[in-house]
Chain A
Amino acid sequence: MKRTATLTLTAALLASTAMAEGEVTIASWGGSYQDAQSKALFEPAAEATGIEVKQETYGGMSDVRLQVSTGQVTLDIVASGSGSAARAGAEGLLEELDYDVIDVSNFYPTLKSTYCVGGDVFSTVYAWNTDTYGEDGPQSWADFWDVENFPGSRAYRGSVAGALEPALMADGVPMEEVYEVLSSEEGIERAIDKIRELKPNIEVFWSSGAQHAQLMKDGEVDMTTGWNGRFDNAAKDGAKVAYSFNQALLDYDCFAIPKGAPNKGTAMAFLAEISKPEYQDDLPKYITYGPTNKAAYETGEISAETAATLPSSPENAALQLPISLDWYAEWETVAAEMYQEMLTE
């Protein structure tokens, strides 16, 4: 699945403002997500800088681990979830980012780390079929669990990331105490027990964003958890799906440079370019993920209506629980094993 977007070298030659030249290979998650990144970030930035961009899809940090451990690094930039990037960075798989080159002065302070610079903000939400429940579907995680008032089949995430927090909220834990409760094996077990309770109604444990979007498009399940941008794009394609930001999980994706990347310097310059507000403000046109650079809201490209639909808009952000990277660094492995016990029962 190699997709190569060869970008006009001629344009680069003509552009007198070209700051750097060279090439970078970028790997991301494919689907409507990578299309959006490509149109809003990679292609315009390639044109402006003269850097030639090759795009690939990849399977996540395990691919980077394989490349780094065998010394065969081919990727210069990878798009990653914030949590897995934090773990990979701690493991020594990523280059430290040079924030003298990448200007993050207007970034939300929580949306960057030593090894990974935020690219977009997204939410893990509950979505429902509007044919089954109408526009006013479930309004909380408790409703998601309520099979009496909202009968119908569910889909839920097949891995532990973003799966336990909703269960605790459904069990009555206030949003601000979720990570406190989860910071012990008993707390994790409590969340998993809550999922066990719903399990007879869970038809599918999904494993990718493309999958949960497809499940809703096909009407295979009536309700699912998932990433908000995928549902908006599915709805654009005619899927009967709506979602709410209430009690959703606020998370971000970021860009990192694998250790020993062949074009590390060029990659750094390219990250600096795509972190600028003039690129980030285009992303919401293609997928409803918010910018990580606050200045992107001030360029006038993002209308007030669009801003209101983004996960990171102040009103929406206030409704949500920001993901705790610290919790994932400390507990994810343990929680994943316990989650698997529940899955295989």
Chain B
Amino acid sequence: MQANSDTAPPGTAAPERLNEAGLRRDGRLERLALFGLASPAMLLILVILVIPVGWLFYVSFLGADGSFSLENYERMISRKSYARIFVTTFQVSLLTTGICILIGYPLAYFMSQLPDRLANIALITVLLPFWTSLLVRTYAWLVLLQRQGLVNDWGISLGLWEEPLKLVHNMTGTLIGMVHIMLPFLILPVYGSMKAINRDLMKAASNLGAHPRRAFWDVFFPLTMPGLSAGALMVFILCLGFFVTPAVLGGGKVIMVSMQIVRNIELFVNWGAASALGVVLLVLTMAILWIASRFLKLENLAGGGHG
């Protein structure tokens, strides 16, 4: 405002008001320009997201003979296996998210306390798994965890346990593999929000007489919530669509929705049977997000560390 009033013609009765019109016009132009810049992305989203999802909805109401029918949804009700597959999917996703938080939060905290150079090395270590393909990492776990794998061989020869532990081809193996793949998705946003916290706040809390534990829970932890909920949500949603890891490490007994979608395409020669599963997963996920938004401030998600 200071700079503006300098350039305003002298002797005008209300220079601010004159500027206001100009500013509003500039603001409008800027919004238009920004909208113009954003439009390719929005067009892309329309083409690759809105249209296919709409098509998915439409196809899910087509029966085997191509006419309108609810048979794809009726099947999901009459056959109990579908409900069980959805339960498994959400169970695996929730457990993976929970374990990622338990492991990832302390690790991110540790990293945030390191001197910058060490923290960078730690960050690279966290990112390292991304350089290997998901399939390779999944098979590596199979080699490590199977009955005559490294873990069981060492455990038995060290006398830690006598019979081979059942570490893979079940829920345990699936969770180990998925947590390993998902961990960076949780650590990065949490680490980001921790780095953004002003250290003086903790000192101020101590200065006011708070025990370190209380300072952590009352000051530090709430400030990391945006990063934590962003990370947890990302992990949870990515888990819902997992295919390779449960297929390889689940031993054919941990069946998630994505695997059933493939089976349905192979089995019922029409896309509708598979699309309906996708629709139900989408609706359930949105319902869960809506419920979560009642408890968490999801609008802060994009804000990362600034919440």
Contacts and interface: CB of A to CB of B under 8 A. Distances in A.
**Interface size class of chain B, counting residues whose CB lies under 8 Å from the partner chain:** 20 to 34
B79 A218 contact: no
Nearest to A342: B81
Nearest to B80: A341
Interface stretch (A100-108, A204-212, A253-261, A309-317): A204-212
A218 B252 CA distance: 17
Nearest to A221: B147
Interface residues of A, number: 26
B268 A205 contact: no
Given A218-B148, A333-B268, A343-B255, A207 B81 contact: no
Interface stretch (B181-189, B259-267, B295-303): B259-267
B253 interface: yes
A219 B266 contact: no
Interface string B156-174: 0000000000100100000
Interface in A196-236: 203-207, 218-220
Interface string B257-280: 000001101111100000000000
Nearest to B268: A333
B148 A204 contact: no
B27 interface: no
Interface in B137-181: 146-149, 166, 169
Contacts of B169: 203-204, 220
Nearest to A61: B266
Interface string A88-113: 00010000000000000000000000
A96 to B, nearest CB: 19
Contacts of A341: 79-81
Given A203-B169, A341-B80, A344-B81, A62 B265 contact: yes
B269 A344 contact: no
Given A344-B84, A344-B88, A204 B265 contact: no
B252 A204 contact: yes
A63 to B, nearest CB: 10
A205 B253 contact: yes
Contacts of A158: 252
Interface in A311-345: 332-333, 336-337, 340-341, 343-345
Interface string B214-252: 000000000000000000000000000000000100011
A205 B255 CA distance: 11
B81 A65 contact: no
Contacts of B267: 332-333, 336-337
Contacts of B147: 153, 218-220
A199 to B, nearest CB: 9
A158 B247 CA distance: 11
A61 B268 CA distance: 12
Nearest to B87: A344
B123 interface: no
A194 interface: no
Interface in A229-259: none
Contacts of A332: 267
A60 B262 CA distance: 12
A54 interface: no
Given A203-B169, A219-B147, A340-B81, A62 B247 contact: no
Given A158-B252, A344-B255, A62 B79 contact: no
Contacts of A60: 266
Contacts of A336: 263, 267
Given A219-B147, A333-B268, A207 B251 contact: no
A264 interface: no
Contact of A337 (B79, B148, B255): B79
Contacts of B166: 203
Given A218-B149, A340-B79, 14 more contacts: A65-B265, A203-B169, A203-B251, A204-B252, A218-B146, A219-B148, A220-B169, A332-B267, A337-B79, A340-B263, A341-B80, A343-B255, A344-B81, A344-B84
